[in-house]
Amino acid sequence: MSAIDDLVGEFARLPGIGRKTALRLAFHLLKAPDDDARRLARSIIEVRDKVRPCERCGNLSDSTPCAICLSPRRDPATLCVVEEASDIMAIERTGEYRGLYHVLGGRLSPLDGIGPSELNVPPLLARAGTGEVREVVLATNPSVEGEATALYLARLLSPLGLRVTRIARGLPVGGDLEYADGVTIAEALAGRREL
């Protein structure tokens, strides 16, 4: 196997990268200046060496606690629970959420052998029970597993006297009703609000 085949194989192992895209990436790197390729290689090594989960929230960061946990501009009374650290980036892109986060490290999936003990639940309950947190926003994915995880967490958090909320679901902005599935339309109708 050649060095090009090895590189293509490694790129193709990345999520969302098929064989054709992997081949394009490999040839792009071969055409790129040496400095560009070496900078990419250094960045990959650096991220693997330096990035770790935050000791408070589980977000991936090169410092612990992470910048979000340390920020005095964040509202410590609101805690948003997400499945993975990548979900934090999606929420942060909106610029709308100002609270803190908690990363579960997955979602309940009995078929895959992922139960409550495989998730980062005990630290969540400890953080939520300090008296500083008043609302926990459950921002798990709208999949069967994500819904089951949200219901499980709501059942654990409710006795703490907190406000437990779930992110809304429904039609995307710019979407057409005629192309939406029935469940999405039903969720949009159930989550309607006054204008």
What pLDDT was estimated at residue 53?
95
Tell me how far apart the alpha carbons of residues 103 and 92 are, in angstroms, rounded to a whole number.
14
Tell me how far apart the alpha carbons of residues 71 and 155 are, in angstroms, rounded to a whole number.
30
Tell me how far apart the alpha carbons of residues 67 and 53 are, in angstroms, rounded to a whole number.
12
8 A C-beta contact, residue 101 and residue 57: yes
Extents of the domains making up the chain: 3-50, 60-166
Tell me how far apart the alpha carbons of residues 182 and 65 are, in angstroms, rounded to a whole number.
43
- How many helices, marked H, and strands, marked E, lie in the chain? 8, 6
pLDDT in tens, 42-58: 999 999 999 999 999 99
**Percent helix, strand and coil across the chain, each rounded to 5?**
50, 15, 35
What pLDDT was estimated at residue 110?
86
Return the CATH class of domain 3-50: mainly alpha
pLDDT in tens, the chain (195 residues): 699 999 999 999 999 999 999 999 999 999 999 999 999 999 999 999 999 999 999 999 999 899 999 999 999 999 999 999 999 999 999 889 999 999 999 999 988 889 899 999 999 999 999 999 999 999 999 888 999 999 999 999 999 999 999 988 777 777 776 777 777 777 777 777 766
60-166: CATH number: 3.40.1360.10
Read off the DSSP letter of residue 81: E
H or E element, residue 42: helix 34-50
